[in-house]
Structure 1
Amino acid sequence: MRAVEQDLVVGVDGSEESLTAVDWAADEAVRRCVPLRIVYASAWQRYESHKPSFGVHRGPAHVFADHIIGQTVERARRRAPAVKVTSDVVAEDPATLLIRESGRGTTVVVGSRGKGELTSLLLGSVSLSVAAHAPSPVIVVRGGEKNRDSGFREVVVGVGEAGESGPALAFALRTAEARGVVLRAVHSWRCPAHAVPDEPRAGEPTDFHQIRAEGQLGEALRGIEGGDATVSVRKDVVEGHARTALLAASASADLLVVGARRRKGHLGMQLGPVNHAVLHRAACPVAVVPHT
């Protein structure tokens, strides 16, 4: 299987978190052998307590934007000299800009938070909005340094209901191939309360539900196992809530991949409680991959 071919776009705002996202995106561009484009939405200035400026007073805003872009482009080129790095400053709302970039078939990379207490909240909402509505994968860079620097050599993917995990699995497999690491597929299950016997014994309902879950995971992986001998796939069937299983797995992962449903014409948030939990609390970067 060929490595991921989608170009990378990283959104920046000058915060330390966005610079961390630039570092991560530059490393990923090297692994994927794709160009990197850095974009800055000048409407961020509304969230940074800058007063609106018009006419001859627009100069400082342009200087500020040029400084942000210049700093991040230089940083990316130093980190990944072999990667083609371009940049763009757009006078637009950041979420709108990044969602549109995603519509062009690019993978969008964002930081987890911004500068200051208020900005941190606003950037968090932008990241969530982009992850919820972007038509292509979105990666939120978060977690510890070892997780961000591929120190665990493992990509984790959450496998849910049958027929809904294909895009996330494919993305995770390509990413694991590009990195040369293990792919760990996590599927959680819960035994209905009415099915739990007072004194569980081997072969009784709890065993049945686990065996059923193992079969569901095997069925989901059938299309990828054996398709690429270079990627080692580890199956992990866990009893309990999906969010608990994925958060635990993220502690020793370089990237956590989850799927997100997209409904045509649906304007509300597309992220369920599991995705919200991992985007807020995962110990590693999180990739949200849309499916219909």
Structure 2
Amino acid sequence: MAIPLVVGIDGSDASLEAVDWASEAAVRHGVPLRLVHATAGGHEASDAVDAATKRARDRSPGVRLSSDVLRKDAASALVDEGRNAFALVLGSRGLGDLPGMLLGSVSLAVAARADCPVVVVRGAAEHQDARFGSIVVGVEDGEGSATAVQFAFREAHVRHCRLVAVHAWSAPAGVFAAPQVPSSNALDVHRRPPAQVLDDALRGPAEHYPDALVSRRLIEGSVRHALLDTASEADLLVVGARRRQGRGLQLGLINHAALHYSPCPIALVPQR
């Protein structure tokens, strides 16, 4: 039996947007959709599940659907669900979050602890409804983004859309001996040339998806600005997350910036 795409619901508008996004994703990937509402309450939970079920069936009539109400705190329940999930999909904010919060407390807690990819549905309708035909993936030097790149290729494949791979770096002043000619000091600061970082990261997935339409962007400057600016015209931003010793993920400044400020839905993909 296929593992499900799990979406957390609580009756908020943001969670219903997550249901919309997740129901279409489940059909694209051919996996079941599981609606999960974690609460200590009763009738409100039933109402939320009924509303989300109707929303999913209206949005994607062919989706294979199940639902459950779990009597435990939402973050723990969703993290547990994520141990056997294709991905977890969450709204950017829930019913209990304070006005002005950029990202809901449950979404942030789940993103930091999940074993599977976590998608936080953010942005305007044009981003959530996939009107740009583009997915952006951040590529870092090293192995930290390898699983994220594989995720992004697969997502671009099922959507039949363009993939934009972004690698940004900052070089201290004076490390270049001549225009476009890196000195030995420059290579010490950045172990591999930026173009090679992208080439190495994309080579394997590109062989697996030979028909993928991939654009490469090398940007000297802030990684945060490079990703968020490129994602302003994208349907999904994909970033990797390193695992820390023990359970959970080591969310750095880039992860937090993406989760709080991404102009489109954001997928946080744990390093395998």
One-letter amino acid of the structure 1 residue matched with residue 50 of structure 2: G
More helix by share: 1
Structure 2, unpaired ranges of 5+: none
- 1:31-50 maps to which residues of 2 (within 5 A)? 31-43=28-40
In structure 2, C-alpha distance between the alignment counterparts of 1:167 and 1:252, rounded to whole Å = 23
Contact 2:102 2:261 in 1 (8 A): no
- 1:137-148 maps to which residues of 2 (within 5 A)? 137-148=117-128
Q: Does 1:218 align with 2:196?
A: no
Q: Does 1:172 align with 2:152?
A: yes
In structure 2, C-alpha distance between the alignment counterparts of 1:275 and 1:42, rounded to whole Å = 28
Identical positions, percent? 45
Greater shift after overlay, 117-126 or 236-245? 117-126
Choose which of 19, 24, 27 in structure 1 pairs with 2:21.
24
| Residues 29-75 of structure 1: CA deviation (Å, up to 9, x unaligned) | 121111111000114xxxxxxxxxxxxxxxxx321111111111011
Choose which of 46, 65, 71 in structure 2 pairs with 1:66.
46
1:172 aligned counterpart, secondary structure: helix
Cα 1:137–1:112 shift into 2, 3 Å:
same
- 1:266-285 maps to which residues of 2 (within 5 A)? 270-285=250-265
Give me the TM-score of the superposition, normalised by structure 1.
0.85
Deviation for aligned residue 1:227: 2.6
| Residues 111-140 of structure 1: CA deviation (Å, up to 9, x unaligned) | 001237627749712111111110100000
- 1:143-292 maps to which residues of 2 (within 5 A)? 143-195=123-175, 201-203=179-181, 212-265=193-246, 270-291=250-271
In structure 1, C-alpha distance between the alignment counterparts of 2:93 and 2:11, rounded to whole Å = 11
| Residues 210-247 of structure 1: CA deviation (Å, up to 9, x unaligned) | 98101111111111223322211111111111111000
Contact 2:5 2:85 in 1 (8 A): no
Cα 1:194–1:64 shift into 2, 3 Å:
same
2:241 aligned counterpart, secondary structure: strand
Cα 1:152–1:136 shift into 2, 3 Å:
same
Deviation for aligned residue 1:85: 1.1
Structure 1, unpaired ranges of 5+: 44-60
Aligned residues: 267
Deviation for aligned residue 1:264: 3.1
Cα 1:204–1:38 shift into 2, 3 Å:
closer
Deviation for aligned residue 1:201: 3.7
Equivalent residue number for residue 79 of structure 1: 59
2:115 aligned counterpart, secondary structure: coil
In structure 2, C-alpha distance between the alignment counterparts of 1:123 and 1:249, rounded to whole Å = 20
Cα 1:246–1:180 shift into 2, 3 Å:
same
1:222 aligned counterpart, secondary structure: helix
| Residues 119-171 of structure 1: CA deviation (Å, up to 9, x unaligned) | 77497121111111101000000011111111111111100122222110111
Choose which of 96, 100, 107 in structure 2 pairs with 1:127.
107
Q: Which has the larger radius of gyration?
A: 1
Give me the TM-score of the superposition, normalised by structure 2.
0.91
- 1:90-101 maps to which residues of 2 (within 5 A)? 90-101=70-81
RMSD of the TM alignment (CA)?
2.3
Contact 1:113 1:120 in 2 (8 A): no
2:48 aligned counterpart, secondary structure: helix
Contact 1:114 1:124 in 2 (8 A): yes
Contact 1:258 1:289 in 2 (8 A): yes
In structure 2, C-alpha distance between the alignment counterparts of 1:185 and 1:272, rounded to whole Å = 20
2:34 aligned counterpart, secondary structure: strand
